[in-house]
Amino acid sequence: MKIAVVGKGGAGKTTTAAVLARTLARTGQPVVALDCDTNPNLGLSLGVGMDATEALLSLRDGVGDGVEHARSWDDIVARFGVDAPGRRPPRHGLQDRGPRFRLPVMRGLPEQLLGLDIAEDTTVVADFEAGIGTLTRLGETKVDAVVVVTDPTVKSLEVASRAARLAEEHTAGPIVIVANRVLDEADRDTVERTLSGRTVLVIPEDDAIPAADRADTAPLDASPDSPAVRALTGLAPLLAGS
Ligand SMILES: Nc1ncnc2c1ncn2[C@@H]1O[C@H](COP(=O)(O)OP(=O)(O)OP(=O)(O)O)[C@@H](O)[C@H]1O
Ligand SMILES: [Mg+2]
């Protein structure tokens, strides 16, 4: 399954993609978190840490300059990534393998990466570059679901509306709007007015998210019970249609 996470700059795509990837990995299925941003920081939100994230970036930047191009999806996964941490919910008492965090070798081009032959049982969560240009460039490549992240500002909602319409051309699966950083009823009303008829998951404004970012930890590790993280864990079931 290929899931694209799109939206305006700063809306919360990376935070959403990271919590989604780690939530999905808890079920035991193979998950690859794909950072398609030229300015990648998905590793930080997954809890991979600054050093490993930067090491992956230098590896990717070395392609064509001493580092060989990857020829296949498996090659990319094997050579251009590290395992992210992941843990089953505490009641299981077991350490689980987390999602494999992979930086793409092809200069962050989802239209190339998502068009590759990816094993059926693998779920790819792709954190797209800001805006809707990358969705347009997907061309004929299809994904299985699109998550459109927006904050409650008019500009971000306008991008989200266009992204959701465009997403219909690239997926036959669910399109879920993540309305992030919602403060109050007025924000909810604005979101509902602009995106009526869409499936919307509301995520509250929550200081735990920037606090985790500042501490270079995954929000899911730093504050699993914070309101925004709890709300974001509701995304995986929505995508599965349950
Ligand atoms: N629910 C939330 N409450 C408060 N702050 C949040 C919330 N979600 C995200 N943020 C903050 O907003 C900022 C942007 O989040 P994030 O990096 O996830 O967005 P992005 O869409 O990936 O940005 P970019 O377009 O730069 O890649 C970060 O500083 C993050 O801590
Ligand atoms: Mg981002």
Which of the listed CATH numbers 3.40.50.720, 3.50.30.30, 3.40.50.300, 3.40.50.150 matches domain 2-239?
3.40.50.300
Task: Identify residue 196 by its one-letter amino acid code.
Answer: S
Does the pLDDT of residue 103 top 60, yes or no?
no
CA of 228 to the centre of ligand 1 (A): 11
pLDDT tens-digit map of 60-88: 777 777 777 777 888 888 888 888 887 55
pLDDT tens-digit map of 140-170: 899 999 999 999 999 999 999 999 999 999 9
| Mutation choice for ligand 1 from 14, 37, 226, CB with most ligand atoms inside 8 A | 14
Predicted local distance difference test score (pLDDT) of residue 162: 96
With b for 16 or more beta-carbon neighbours within 10 A and e for fewer, the 5-14 pattern comes to bbbbeebbbb
CA of 151 to the centre of ligand 1 (A): 9
Nearest CA to ligand 1 atom 6: 209
Domain segments of the chain as ranges = 2-239
Closest CA to 151 of 198, 112, 187, 100: 187
Which DSSP string corresponds to 180-235? EEE-SHHHHHHHHHHTTTSEEEEEE--THHHHHHHTTS-HHHH-TTSHHHHHHTTH
Tell me which residues have their CB closer than 6 angstroms to ligand 1.
7, 9-15, 37, 130, 180-181, 203, 205-206, 209-210, 213, 228
Ligand (nearest to CA of 15): 1
Decide if 103 contacts 56 (C-beta within 8 A). Answer: yes
